[in-house]
Amino acid sequence: MKHFENIIIGFGKAGKTLAGSLTKNGQEVLLIEKDSAMYGGTCINVACLPSKNMIINAQRGTCYDEAIATKNRLVDKLRNKNYHKVADQENATVLRADVSFIDDYTIEVSDDSGQETVIGDKIFINTGSTPVLPNVQGLKNSQHVFTSKTLLDQTQQTKNIAILGDGPIGLEFAAMYAKFGSQVTVIGQNKMILNQLEPEIANAAKEDMMTDGVQFLLNSQLTKVTDMVNGIILDIDTPNGGKTLHVDALLVATGRRANTDDLHLERTNIKTGSHGEILVNDVLETNVTNIFAMGDVKGGPQFTYISLDDWRILNSQFFGDQTRTRANRPVFANTIFLNPAISSVGQTEAQLQKKEQPYKIFQMLTAGVPKAQVIGNPRGSYKVLVDEKTHQILGATIYAEEAYETINVISLAMQNNLPAEALRDQIYTHPTMTEALNDLFAEL
């Protein structure tokens, strides 16, 4: 039985970065990843970076074949770089193998060469999340049903695609495929898309997507999937009755859950939640001493930048001043990469009304920002909610070009308790989308 100081299960953002910290401090690390195509984690291989690369190329007018080739070159480059970033460290070993727990600190690893048992003083679980497939007749056995991961592997463009799910992932793919020229239908169970956002901005995004050719079947339920030689038939219950849709493929984007099924945690004392997520405290330790969980597998916000912050928490605990925890995680925003992107941070107007918290609204159309005209995409608007007395920012939603950059300025102001006047009076370079903040708060 081999013994290691540290065993990291999963080559995700938090795990690979932690491996670097541990080896830098002279500690021994075994990093185990079951899929060599996932070195570097979900983000660089099958999610954030490849999908955003495809979205950008679609918006540039690049043909699908060229976009796929570009995406594959990017992923191969990043995967190789990430592998060597860990594997080349003197104290690190990267092992491609399946993992299952035997007890709290003992795991069995198996690969083509056989099985082996290893034990770790500290074990870090970083296995991420996996797509949820709903229990719809015929869906799980269909040859024409894809997840976001498997759809990105398709070298030929799907010309007529349905997307089950009206959340961020489904809508990003819908906007992307529409830009590539595909016929796109979104099937959603909610009455409106993006119901966690400001409703007027969500509705504006829907209208713009419809202009781009996306069709919506909302407040609807997929009831049956039937494979055909030339595609797939979908039976859908809509508010106007039953509808049959014949498409080439179906993308299922109905959420993700913690990827723990194959770990056999039932053989351990590690506690999990109702969706399989591993329960952790504020410093990411499970109920079992020296066993930690990081990234999506622990539940909570499923963003790669949260996984990176999980590393910061552990790095602070092991090698820093031990002040950083989940409880004092900085303010962070969220972006949905549509055309243009929608970025949000903090609370919505509905949330403030429910709390009966006094606020002021500052709004403006994106068309009033010179850079939007320069880019040639004046769609969208800005909406920021400010405390009535202190003028501190309570929440913001930006539907505009480069919203994902501007929102970080607002997040920084919120984190440091700066009043909106600080953003109003700042001198920004020109022409930029961020200088919209001068005009947005002009009446403050």
Longest dimension (CA), the chain: 70
- For residue 301, the Cα-to-chain-centroid distance in whole angstroms is 8
Of 3, 246, 275, 430, which residue is the catalytic one?
430
Which pLDDT score, from 0 to 100, does residue 104 have? 98
Tokens representing residue 13 in the block: 């953002």
Do 284 and 300 touch, CB atoms closer than 8 A?
Answer: no
Which pLDDT score, from 0 to 100, does residue 358 have? 97
Q: Measured in Å, how far apart are the chain's first and last C-alpha atoms? A: 67
The strand pairing partners of 385, in sequence order, are: 361, 395
The residues, any chain, with a CB within 8 Å of residue 300's CB and separated by 6 or more, are: 277, 306
Q: In terms of C-beta distances under 8 Å and separation of at least 24 residues, what long-range contacts does 431-434 make, across chains too? A: 431/370, 431/371, 431/374, 432/371, 432/402, 433/369, 433/371, 433/372, 433/400, 433/401, 433/402, 433/403, 433/405, 433/406, 434/402, 434/405, 434/406, 434/409
Which pLDDT score, from 0 to 100, does residue 116 have? 96
Strands 221-228 and 231-238: antiparallel
Strands 291-293 and 98-101: unpaired
| pLDDT range class, residue 143, cuts 50, 70, 90 | very high
Report pLDDT digits (tens) over 377-410: 999 999 999 999 999 999 999 999 999 999 999 9
Which pLDDT score, from 0 to 100, does residue 1 have? 86
- Rounded Cα gap, residues 384 and 410, in angstroms: 9
246 is catalytic: no
Which pLDDT score, from 0 to 100, does residue 138 have? 98
- Rounded Cα gap, residues 386 and 396, in angstroms: 9
Tell if the pTM clears 0.85, that is, is over it: yes
Percentage of the residues of the chain whose pLDDT score is greater than 70: 100
What would the mean pLDDT of 171-185 be, rounded to a whole number?
98
Is pLDDT of 278 > 90? yes
